[in-house]
Amino acid sequence: MSKQHLLTPYNKNISLNNRVVMAPMTRSRADNAGHIPTDDLHGLYYEQRASAGLIITEGSQVSTQAVGYVNTPGIYSDEQVEGWKKVTQRVHDNGGKIFIQLWHVGRMSHPIFITGSYHYRLQP
């Protein structure tokens, strides 16, 4: 029986262990004041999926005015960058590759997010 093409390595502009790509999915799990990706939620989630050839993270806003949904992580503050570094390291330590989806939702954002003073949280 021949090997599934999807599971064979890809080596063109990037080297991947296989051709499986995990698409970005908004998860709304950055429910802390700084919208920082955390090691226990984000790190574990992406580490568990590191066997995919390539992971594309959930959309991560590029500024305080780019927020479009509640509790989404950002990548515009030093703390957020440090959080993503920890996530990335966990994926790399498990043999995976990861790209971040940069996100600015523009006009579709709700006005409560546009002011940059977004503090709304989902209640349990």
User: Is position 75 within any domain?
Assistant: yes
User: Is position 68 within any domain?
Assistant: yes
Q: What is the pTM of this model?
A: 0.86
Residues 6+ apart with CB under 8 A from 32: 38
User: Is position 85 within any domain?
Assistant: yes
Structure tokens at 55: 């992971």
> What is the tally of structural domains in the chain?
1
87 lies in which domain range? 20-114
Structure tokens at 85: 């570094």
User: Is position 6 within any domain?
Assistant: no
Give the model's pLDDT for residue 47: 98
Between the alpha carbon of residue 85 and those of residues 4, 31, 67, 79, 108, the distances in Å are 33, 18, 21, 10, 29
User: Is position 26 within any domain?
Assistant: yes
Give the model's pLDDT for residue 46: 98
Q: Is the dihedral of CA 39, 42, 45, 46 positive or negative?
A: negative
User: Is position 119 within any domain?
Assistant: no
User: Is position 84 within any domain?
Assistant: yes
- Across the chain, which has 124 residues, the per-10-residue mean pLDDT values are 85 96 94 93 97 97 87 95 98 97 84 60 48
Determine contact, residues 31/64, Cβ cutoff 8 Å.
no
User: Is position 27 within any domain?
Assistant: yes
Give the model's pLDDT for residue 55: 98
